[in-house]
Amino acid sequence: KKLAVFVSGGGSNFRSIHEACLNGLILGDVVVLVASKQGCGGADYAREKGLPIMVFPKTKLEPDGISPADLVATLRGLEVDFVLLAGYLKLIPVELIQAYPRSILNIHPSLLPAFGGKGHYGMKVHKAVIASGARYTGPTIHFVDEHYDTGRILAQRVVPVLAKDTAEELAARVLREEHSLYVEVITALCEERIVWREDGVPIIRSKE
């Protein structure tokens, strides 16, 4: 399968996905990186690996960015099967959601629907989890719809919150699990092991 990864930041999830494709764990290839800005760790990594980079969306600060229509046309031209958001902070345009039904995934660093939505990104999520007194948190992987963090949940993993945790310590513990969970889910996606229950909930079938 052909994969497009979207990033805005450091790109550690992108890196673990790319490595899992190279070592054959994921039966897929990252064919393009879409970044919300040229200057980010994810884009640096793509340049280092010789992967094509597109910038989306176009803004004053990113004049080389492309339009939603060009984004869709380019992904179609590259025959992209799945779109994987990996720390991509901008909203996905409705054109892309309609062009790729049930084919766009996001990873969020809390157990959705808790601590999701527009204001909950980056370290803010972990700060809010600690402030709430929640004893458990962890990554959620979900299909993407027109809103932030509301699409169908596909996979989650529980991570303990320790009494003395700083947001940074908790973020690091969650991020380690993000890497392995995302690779596990993308492996299933590329092997067509996602089935949709009648009520619209997606389930991962285990390998026979």
Residues with active-site annotation: 108
Query: Which residue of 17, 46, 86, 104 would you call a contact of ligand GRF, by CB under 6 A?
Result: 86
Site stretch for ligand GRF (CB under 6 A), options 8-16, 55-63, 112-120, 185-193? 8-16
> Of 85, 90, 130, which Cα lies nearest the Cα of 108?
85
Report the residue number, 76 or 147, with the smaller CB distance to ligand GRF. Answer: 147
Adjacent-strand bridge partners of 166: none
Tell me, what amino acid is at 92? I
Ramachandran angles phi, psi of 85, nearest 5°? -85, 125
Contacts of 198 by beta carbon, 8 Å cutoff, 6+ apart: none
Query: Which residue of 1, 12, 112, 187 would you call a contact of ligand GRF, by CB under 6 A?
Result: 12
Report the residue number, 65 or 87, with the smaller CB distance to ligand GRF. Answer: 87
Site for ligand GRF in 26-65 (CB under 6 A): none
Instruction: Count Cβ atoms below 10 Å from residue 207 Cβ, excluding itself.
Output: 8
Does residue 151 belong to the site contacting ligand GRF (CB under 6 A)? no
**Cα torsion through 132, 141, 6, 31, rounded to 10:** 160
Q: How far is the CB of 80 from ligand GRF (least distance, A)?
A: 19
The DSSP element (H or E) to which 143 belongs, if any, is strand 140-143
Q: How far is the CB of 179 from ligand GRF (least distance, A)?
A: 8
Q: Is-contact 166 6, C-beta < 8 A?
A: no
Site for ligand GRF in 178-197 (CB under 6 A): 178
Does residue 202 belong to the site contacting ligand GRF (CB under 6 A)? no
Site stretch for ligand GRF (CB under 6 A), options 6-14, 22-30, 54-62, 94-102? 6-14
Report the residue number, 146 or 192, with the smaller CB distance to ligand GRF. Answer: 146
Q: Is-contact 99 71, C-beta < 8 A?
A: no
Tell me, what amino acid is at 172? A
Site for ligand GRF in 101-140 (CB under 6 A): 107-109
